Amino acid sequence: MPDASFDAAADAPSPAAKGAARRAPALRLRWSSVFNHGVLIFGVFLMMGPVVIAFTSSTFDPIAIHRDGLKLGWGGEFLSTYDTVLFEKSGFTKEVNGLLMLFNSMVMGLGFAIGKVVVSILAAYAIVYFRFRGATVCFWVIFSTLLLPLEVRILPSYEVVQSLGLLNTYTGLIVPLIASATGTFFFRQFFKSVPEELLEAARIDGANWWRFLVDILVPLSRTMIAAIFIIMFVVGWNQYLWPTLMTTEEGYFTIVRGIKQIMQVWIGANIPAYNEALALAVLAMLPPVLIVVIFQRMFIKGLVETEK
Amino acid sequence: MIRTTIAAGALALTAAAAHAQTEITWWHAMGGALGEAVNAVAEQFNASQSEYRIVPSYKGNYEETLTATIAAFRAGEQPNVVQVFDAGSATIIGATGATIPVEDLMNQNGIPFNIEDYIAGVRYFYADGSGKMVGMPFNSSSPIMYYNVAVLNEAGVTPPKTWEEFRDVTAPALKAAGYVPLAQSHTPWIFTENFMSRHNLQFATNSNGYDGAEGTQLLVDNPAIKAHFTALKDWSDNGLYKYYGAGWADNQTPFENGEVAIWLGSSGSFGGLKKSVDFEFDATFLPYWEAVTPTGYNTFIGGAALFAMAGHPAEENKAAAEFFRFLSSPEVQFFWHRETGYVPITEAAYELGKSEGYYESTPLAEVGIQQLSLPGGEWTKGYQMGFYVQIRDVMNREYGRIFAGETTVDEAFRTITEEGDQLLARFAQTQG
Amino acid sequence: MKKVQFSGIAPPLLLIAPQMAIVVIFFLWPAAEAVRTSFFIQDPFFGRAVFVGFDNYVNAVTRSDYLRSAAFTGVFVTAICAISLGFGLLFAVCADEVLRGEGPYKTLLMWVYAIAPPVAGLIGVMLFDQHIGPLVDFFAFFGWELQTGVDYWDTAFAMTVVAAWKQIPYNFIFFLSGLQGIPRSLREAAAIDCRSPARRFWTVVFPLLAPTSFFLLVINITYAFFETFGVIDVMLKGEPGNNPVSLVYKVYLDGFRGQDLGGSSAQSVILMVGVMLLTVVQFRFIERRVHYA
């Protein structure tokens, strides 16, 4: 699978080479560079602005927001608001606080990422390294999952999960989402690109199928596994529709699911707690954003190469 | 002799305490402060006796609670008691066998029940075609008219009794004083369902749907309500009425901000308003069109009822019955009424409120009950229609289009009738 | 397939079993169930079903709200694709050309990818709020009285902006990596042949980005159809009213809010057919391109 664009990306030039290539018409360069920076600064403003204003508003008290609208600057209510949102067992009932919802999101993100990676590796390994009756059928059945996103079969999926008694469980929350076989396809492509000689050498050394997988294939794929893991964690953390339907017990709410509850309080209450709603939004985006920023290189590599 | 009796009594008490408590579940849709009042009622019930224990749990908004209940019922894990809202009542009442009608539940458990104890406006809303009460009215409210006292004084007008008065006197004066004269928070509920009731107009065939789902059709395509919406559109174009969308809070907020002079909301809204506004406000009955009726009739209740789900052991049903008995007692009703602003559902509770002098100190709290207790007509008992949530969505959509100028009043009501009837026919098929 | 393979029956079956089990239980079964229920009208509590043939389909596609929702979905998807691909490409081209600061720009422009759609929706609903929203003030400055929640197209505009905004980083990442994958030699040759940077971009660079663009188009269509659910759900504030809803959202509304299981399933099946067609097109034109769903 590492195809043309993968190889090409690898030999992308250094910034210095790039500069040399374009240094010729100096004047035009300066103007175009002003233009480029202008556009990029506008872009940064466009992408950051809404989030910044959401964060700064969350530090004001709700009455000020209700009166004057969303606010820039520092409202001085940061500690009390985030303390309430994280620790006070309130909001809609007395059972749940932000911390518990963050924990549930973590379970969801990790469970989804681990589940997806493990299941996919095993299935892809079977498809690539074994010849067995039914392999083609299995392949096409798995392939068919790519045709229908969860959203279009949401009602029957819900009914199936309900009839299995899995509503309001972590299993019901996570496992149905793993059904989509994107991970399997990625690992299948990757395994196919692994040189044949490796397997031959391993067999000469007497490795059986399990040892080959554990000792050779998995270590070889570890960067890819990590990249997939990061992407899947973000995807899992950000799930909304499925948790919204699946969980009616507040003890299982993820923080993204909690947004729906915030909206309800907002619709019904008199002076809505804008600050707490925005604080919860900030908390909901923080973990996935941090992971994406910290593991940026790996994340981009994973995204670009697996999506192709 | 006396000592043995006491000893025996003490023994009996211990035995009762040791006897396992029957625990029942109660799913509800009351968030925030209302949820706290629900918890308080449950705690009071649990403290009032030792045999039963009720555990309330919040399941999201009305629609979500109903969906969760249906899912649970199909999985055999339904709660003992569930709160279902007005628009969903046909769905649950139509599912004969899914619930135990309140009247049967009480009779089976030897608890006296008389439908006449309930105030006129709430008595038959959650009843079946034969007049048997199926759901116990719980949080009941009615739309009433709130107004900003200082603003009306400033404009030199009094709260309008009729829409004619609003059109000719009140609204122009309020507009001249620089205010938006009118807003309201729930067009299908206030300007459709309760419009029909206030003017004693038939809302649907089959006795407003109570006689069964088969063949029920909407009767909203009538001149009176179309004239009302034509007037509203005209007012909206001339700055006498402002439509802020289908969201409840979006319409309430401008009243709280003092931009809007008169706001039509729920009789249960006053508790919240008291906390959120710093001006003096008051409330009175909804206006009516004198051209349609010489006097206004009572309005429907809105809100929700409690249903006892079937499929539980007898002792749990007994516990649910005891809870209903507790809930409908005057003291508990009065507590609920006072805490939340919802109306009391029994005559006895209303009397208790009066004798405690509650309405002298808080006259606002009485407006909703008085309006519900106005003389009724043939068509003011309520309505019962399936897929009504979607019918309301159709109404909301078409009303939005009227005010946005995307459709005409005639066209909108034709569409509502057409699509509403299709939905009703589909619902009738599910009942077949 | 590999020329060299392991043999044996048990190991591969064991390895593939978890995946197959999940697919069968949580994918094939529900999908089949959707098709089956779409031919029935069901009582929600007992699941008593009455066979109605294609009634649910006829009912769905002839209802004015369905057609309106379909029309909106078309506009919504087109607008999201145009806006987010356009900005993504613009930022990628500029980021590819700047000599300094590419790294920070890249980070600052891409991280919004990690924000969940409903969280974006929550921020959006406040920015566009009739009473507290700064964007409403902003547009009022230009004489546009934006009434989200009241005016159909104003709400549609707000939803589109929020949904497209959230997707810009994704397109940016792919375009940037696509641009950096264009061999340096090719560009240098182009620079000699064609002095105008604009013409150079459209005649040389952009055609080379075509595969990336096509792939992104498919992904963006999928995103606009399905993943915008959260944005729409939050921005509706619980009342559909006279507000635009996408076809996917309508499946949810009719099924979960309205309890019309048959009607909702029929709409699901219509969408399934649509997605399958889209996927076939995708695979016809670009091989081996797999997306997350």
Domain coordinates in residue numbering, chain B? 20-140+301-372, 143-299+386-430
SS3 state of residue C40: strand
Task: Write down the residue that tokens 């990029």 correspond to.
Answer: A40
CA C83 to each of CA C76, C168, C213, C235: distance values in angstroms, whole numbers, following the listed order: 11, 8, 13, 19
Among C42, C147, C260, select the one facing B390 at the smallest CB separation.
Answer: C260
Q: Is B250's CB within 8 Å of C256's CB? A: no
Using the Cβ of B202 and the Cβ atoms of chain C, whether some distance falls under 8 Å is answered with no
**Token pair of A102 as six digits:** 């963050």
Per CATH, the homologous superfamily of domain A98-191+223-307 is MetI-like (1.10.3720.10)
- In chain C, the number of structural domains is 1
Chain B from 249 to 278: CB within 8 A of any C CB? 249-250, 253-254, 257
- Chosen for mutation from A270, A271, A274 (greatest number of chain B CBs closer than 10 Å) is A270
Contacts of A165 in chain B (CB under 8 A): 75, 77
Using the Cβ of A240 and the Cβ atoms of chain C, whether some distance falls under 8 Å is answered with yes
Contacts of A265 in chain B (CB under 8 A): 31-32
B57 Cβ neighbours under 8 A, 6+ residues apart: A93, A249, B25, B26, B27, B28, B79
In a domain, C11, yes or no: no
CA separation for the pair B53, B24 (Å, rounded): 6
Q: Which domain holds residue C221?
A: 56-285
Please name which of C195, C161, C191 lies closest in space to residue C80, comparing C-alpha atoms.
C161
CA separation for the pair A112, C58 (Å, rounded): 38
Q: Which pLDDT does position A17 carry in this prediction?
A: 45
C-alpha dihedral, C220 to C226 to C231 to C232, nearest 10°: 120
The nearest CA of chain C is from the CA of A224 a distance in Å of 15
Measured on CA atoms in the order C47, C50, C54, C60, is the torsion positive or negative? negative
Contacts of C263 in chain B (CB under 8 A): 426
Q: Which pLDDT does position A10 carry in this prediction?
A: 37
Which mean pLDDT values do the consecutive 10-residue runs of chain B (432 residues) have?
A: 46 50 90 82 92 88 87 86 92 90 93 88 85 91 94 94 95 95 94 94 92 90 95 95 89 90 90 82 94 90 91 93 93 90 89 91 89 87 89 93 93 94 90 72
Residue C232 scores a pLDDT above 50: yes
Residue A270 scores a pLDDT above 60: no
CA A132 to chain CA centroid, nearest Å: 34
Residue A303 scores a pLDDT above 70: yes
CA C196 to each of CA A32, A64, B124, C204: distance values in angstroms, whole numbers, following the listed order: 12, 53, 80, 11
Query: Residue A90 — pLDDT band, cuts 50, 70, 90?
Result: low
CA separation for the pair C28, C43 (Å, rounded): 24
Residue A289 scores a pLDDT above 60: yes
What angle (nearest 5°) sits at the alpha carbon of residue C135, between those of residues C247 and A238? 45
Please state the φ and ψ torsions of residue C263, each to the nearest 5 degrees. -65, -40
CA separation for the pair A120, B129 (Å, rounded): 57
CA separation for the pair C64, C119 (Å, rounded): 31
Q: Which pLDDT does position A94 carry in this prediction?
A: 58
Please name which of A217, A232, A219, A220 lies closest in space to residue A299, comparing C-alpha atoms.
A232
Please state the φ and ψ torsions of residue A240, each to the nearest 5 degrees. -130, -55
Contacts of C168 in chain A (CB under 8 A): 46-47
Q: Which pLDDT does position C123 carry in this prediction?
A: 92
Q: What percent of chain C has pLDDT over 90?
A: 35
What are residue C172's DSSP bridge partners? none
The chains in contact with chain B, meaning 3 or more Cβ pairs closer than 8 Å, are A, C
C34 Cβ neighbours under 8 A, 6+ residues apart: A152, A153, A155, A156, C265, C268, C269, C272
In a domain, C14, yes or no: no
Residue extents of the structural domains in chain A: 15-87, 98-191+223-307
One-character DSSP codes across chain A: ---HHHHHHHTPPPHHHHHHHH-SSHHHHHHHHHHHHHHHHHHHHHHHHHHHHHHHHTTS-HHHHHHH-S--S--S-HHHHHHHHHH-S-TTSSS--HHHHHHHHHHHHHHHHHHHHHHHHHHHHHHHHB--TTHHHHHHHHHHTTTS-GGGGHHHHHHHHHHTT-TTSHHHHHHHHHTSTHHHHHHHHHHHHS-HHHHHHHHHTT--HHHIIIIIIHHHTHHHHHHHHHHHHHHHHT--HHHHHH--SGGG--HHHHHHHHHHHHHHSSS--HHHHHHHHHHHHHHHHHHHHHTHHHHHHHHHHHH-
CA separation for the pair A183, A229 (Å, rounded): 10
Tell me the CATH number at C206: 1.10.3720.10
Q: Which CATH architecture has domain B143-299+386-430?
A: 3-Layer(aba) Sandwich (3.40)
Question: Exposed/middle/buried for C259, CB within 10 Å: 0-12, 13-18, 19+?
Answer: buried
CA separation for the pair B362, A257 (Å, rounded): 40
The nearest CA of chain C is from the CA of A145 a distance in Å of 7
C-alpha dihedral, A79 to A81 to A85 to A91, nearest 10°: 150
The chains in contact with chain C, meaning 3 or more Cβ pairs closer than 8 Å, are A, B
CA separation for the pair B94, B96 (Å, rounded): 6
What are residue B57's DSSP bridge partners? B27
Q: Is A49 left (phi over 0), alpha (psi -120 to 50) or beta?
A: alpha
**Token pair of B273 as six digits:** 């308003």
Please state the φ and ψ torsions of residue B118, each to the nearest 5 degrees. -90, 150
Q: Which pLDDT does position B9 carry in this prediction?
A: 47
The nearest CA of chain A is from the CA of B327 a distance in Å of 22
What angle (nearest 5°) sits at the alpha carbon of residue B303, between those of residues B300 and B308? 110
For chains A and C, what is the number of CB pairs under 8 angstroms? 364
Q: Which pLDDT does position A5 carry in this prediction?
A: 36
Measured on CA atoms in the order B228, B232, B235, B237, is the torsion positive or negative? negative
- Chosen for mutation from C14, C16, C161, C286 (greatest number of chain A CBs closer than 10 Å) is C16
C6-43 pLDDT tens trace: 777 888 888 888 988 999 998 888 889 889 989 998 88
C39-54: string of b/e by CB count within 10 Å (b at 16+)? bbbbbbbeeebeebee
User: Considering only the top CATH level, what class is B20-140+301-372?
Assistant: alpha beta
Q: Is C238's CB within 8 Å of B422's CB? A: no
The nearest CA of chain A is from the CA of C232 a distance in Å of 11
Using the Cβ of C233 and the Cβ atoms of chain B, whether some distance falls under 8 Å is answered with no
Contacts of A308 in chain C (CB under 8 A): 215, 288-290
ipTM of the complex: 0.86
Q: Do domains B20-140+301-372 and B143-299+386-430 have the same CATH topology?
A: yes
Q: What percent of chain C has pLDDT over 70?
A: 95
Please name which of C293, C290, C262, C282 lies closest in space to residue C54, comparing C-alpha atoms.
C262
Q: Is A260's CB within 8 Å of B31's CB? A: no
Q: Which pLDDT does position A95 carry in this prediction?
A: 65
Q: Which pLDDT does position B11 carry in this prediction?
A: 45
Q: Which pLDDT does position B5 carry in this prediction?
A: 46
